[in-house]
Amino acid sequence: MKRHVSGLLVLSFGALGWLAVVGIDAAPQGGAAAPTAAAAKPTPRAADGHPDLTGMWYRRIAGPVTQRVGKSIVIVNNAPPVEGAGNRYNPGTPKYKPQFLARVKELKDDQINVDPAFHCGPPGIPRIGPPQRIVQTAREIVILYDDLNGNFFRLIPIDGRKHRTGIEPSAHGDSVGRWEGDTLVLDVRNILEDTWLGDNGLFHTANLKVTERLTRQGDTLKWEAIVEDPEVLEEPWKVTPRVLTLMNNAEIEEAAFCEDRGIADRATGDYHGNVR
């Protein structure tokens, strides 16, 4: 039988092969407001004159669009993309030095066992994706995430404070922010070596440095990330940028408990992993 994989399937789970990775984590926003119209709105500014990035910008996976028909719940096929949903976004791939390609392949082939994010581990930077919810004050910004693996947060000084010293590495590292004109530049260091840069064995070293750039224009937020790890990468990796549209009718939510079913389910062969 000829099968048609609906856009909705891709929307809801992605991971139908390479196309779908592309599917799982987001893309040009199909938000309620078209990005161009949203970008044309005035950019809100904080008391210090800098753009105010506060808002709900992104939702990692939106799921299928459903509606109630009587007492039933049915999928709405061919529904327009959910506000803030990420579809058909491909972050791109870092270029490893040739001597590390074998290691990437080895990790990729055994991803189901060795990828920490498949076992409820924190995704790390930049894998966690663009900011989901931002709270900005004069001294710092707070970025909140509702991820499949749980809620994560980053507390980032923007008042000139330097990186903290003498702290342990963490999955989402230690960030400091500074303004370059209307762009907030985040410098992220001290990222735990255990995390990956993305699917498919994209390992990094403890010397990973990520620079994120956040630019608000009207009700849009551009997210850029540059990944530097010269020990293993041939060149800095520029993650495919994203332009997010402010989500007016959404709020960050508490994530459900993530339970690592990998060990039990691998034994029976129905481990579906943690689609990212």
Nearer to other proteins, 66 or 137 (CB): 66
Q: Which residues bind other proteins (CB under 8 A)?
A: 1, 3-4, 6, 9, 12-18, 20-21, 61-64, 66, 68, 70-75, 77, 82, 93, 95-96, 98, 101, 104-105, 108-109, 111-112, 118, 120, 146, 148-150, 199-200, 253, 255-259, 261, 268-275
Least separation in angstroms between residue 19's CB and other proteins is 9
Least separation in angstroms between residue 262's CB and other proteins is 10
The contacts found for 213-216 with CB under 8 angstroms, 24 or more apart, are 213/180, 213/183, 213/184, 213/185, 213/186, 214/53, 214/131, 214/134, 214/183, 214/184, 214/185, 214/186, 215/51, 215/182, 215/183, 215/184, 216/43, 216/44, 216/51, 216/52, 216/53, 216/182
End-to-end CA distance of the chain: 29
Least separation in angstroms between residue 267's CB and other proteins is 9
Least separation in angstroms between residue 72's CB and other proteins is 4
DSSP 88: S
Tokens of 49: 């004159």
Least separation in angstroms between residue 135's CB and other proteins is 20
Nearer to other proteins, 50 or 204 (CB): 204
